[in-house]
Amino acid sequence: MADGKRKTFKRKSEPEDGARDSMDELRTYLSSKFASLRDEMHKEITSRDVLLRKLEESVTRLSEDIAPVKDYVTAEMDEEDDDASSSSSGTPEDGTPQDGDQETEEERNNRALNICVDVMMSLTEIRENNEEKTQKVRGFYEKIYKASPFTSLMLKFLERNGGVKVLVDCDSSNISNLVGRLVNLDGEKCNGTAFLTFADIFECRVYLGGVRGQIDVKKRGQFVHETFDPEVSLAQSLAQIVMYLIFKNRGCPYACDDEMYEKLYEKIVLETSQKKESVTMDGYVHHAFSMKSSLAREVSLISVVPGMLVKYGSKEGMSKLLEQMPFLTFFFIHHVIPKMRS
C-alpha cells in the first residue's frame, strides 16, 4: 500500500452474516484499489508513454496488496465452509431444515438454478441426443452455475439476453462432428479436430466436445499434456460470447472507444505473460498465450477467470487466481462483473 502498511481485516463474529459482510468488505477494499489505478490512468490518458509508466508504478504498488487479499479470501472462505458444515450438522436426519426462512431461501436458490439451467438447455442442441446425454449436458450447466457467484451471474446474463446457441457432441472430445472447418481468432483455417471447444463470437455459437480431452501446452519451452474438462471449456467459450455481447468489440473485455480500459487490459496481459515464465501457472493460462495474435490472447485470457473458478471451485479457484493473476482477477471483478449486472 502507499503508506507501507498492509491492511488488516477484522473477522466477523456472527456466523449467519459473516460471509456476506466479509465479501462486502472485500469488494469495497478491492474496488478502492482498482479505482485508484483506474483514476491515475484517466489523468494520464493523453500520453501513451506516460500512461505506461504510470501503469508500471501502479502495478508495483498494488503488488504489495496481493498477499493480504489472497490470505483474507482464503480465510473467509474457510470460515464460510465451517459455517455451512455447522448448519448442516444442526439439521434433522432427514435433511429438512428446522428454520423456515432457511428452507425458503434454499428453495428460492434451487428454483433460480433450475430456471437458468432450463433456459440454457433450451438454447442447446445435443448431437444424437438421448436422456443420458441430456442429463450430462445439464450437469455441465449446473456445475458452472454452482461453481461461483461470478459464473452463475454469467449464465444469468445469457438467460436474460439469449441469442446464444450451444451445440454439443457428447460422444467426442473435439468438435469435428459439429463443424467441418472454421477460422480461429488467429485468422487461420482449421479443422474441427483441432478444438475441444470453439466460440464463434460473431454468430454467437458455441461448439463443444462433451468428452474430456487432452491438448499439448507449452510451458517454459516444453510441451506437456493438459487435460481439459468439457464443463470448464464450455464456461470459457460462454465467457467469450458474454464479452462480445457486452462490449461489442470482437470478444475483448472493453469497448471499442474505451482507451483507458484498453490500455489497462493490454498492460495486464503483458504483466501476466511475463510472470508466467517465473511463476507456476495453470495450463489454461499457457493455452491462452499459445495464441499467435494479440486479439486471440486478449479474448482467451479473460475467459480463464471463469474457467478456473469452474475447474477448482470458488474458494480454491479464487485463491489460485489471486496468486497467479491478481490484476486480471481485479479487472474481471471490477470491470466485467458490473457490466454483467447492469
Domains of the chain with CATH codes: 147-341 (3.40.390)
3 state DSSP class of 140: helix
DSSP H or E stretch at residue 271: helix 259-275
pLDDT tens by residue, the chain, 342 residues: 444 444 443 443 333 444 445 445 555 655 665 666 666 555 544 454 554 455 445 544 544 444 445 454 444 444 444 444 444 444 444 444 454 556 678 899 999 999 999 999 999 999 999 999 999 999 999 999 999 999 999 999 999 988 899 999 999 999 999 998 899 999 999 999 999 999 999 999 999 999 999 888 877 777 788 889 999 999 999 999 999 999 999 999 999 999 999 999 999 999 999 998 888 899 999 999 999 999 999 999 999 999 999 999 999 999 999 999 999 999 999 999 999 998
3 state DSSP class of 47: coil
d(CA 90, CA 98) in angstroms, rounded, equals: 9
Angle ∠(159,262,4) on CA atoms, nearest 5? 105
Cβ count within 10 A of residue 113? 16
Whether 322 contacts 73, CB under 8 Å: yes
* Residue in 250, 247, 248 with CA at minimum distance from that of residue 331: 247
d(CA 234, CA 145) in angstroms, rounded, equals: 12
Q: Which residue has the cell 461448439?
A: 207
Q: What is the pLDDT of residue 90?
A: 43
> Which cell goes with 157?
446474463
d(CA 321, CA 330) in angstroms, rounded, equals: 10
d(CA 204, CA 161) in angstroms, rounded, equals: 12
Q: Which residue has the cell 490484476?
A: 327
d(CA 237, CA 242) in angstroms, rounded, equals: 9
* Residue in 158, 170, 201, 172 with CA at minimum distance from that of residue 296: 201
d(CA 81, CA 243) in angstroms, rounded, equals: 31
Q: What is the pLDDT of residue 105?
A: 84
DSSP letter at 168 equals E
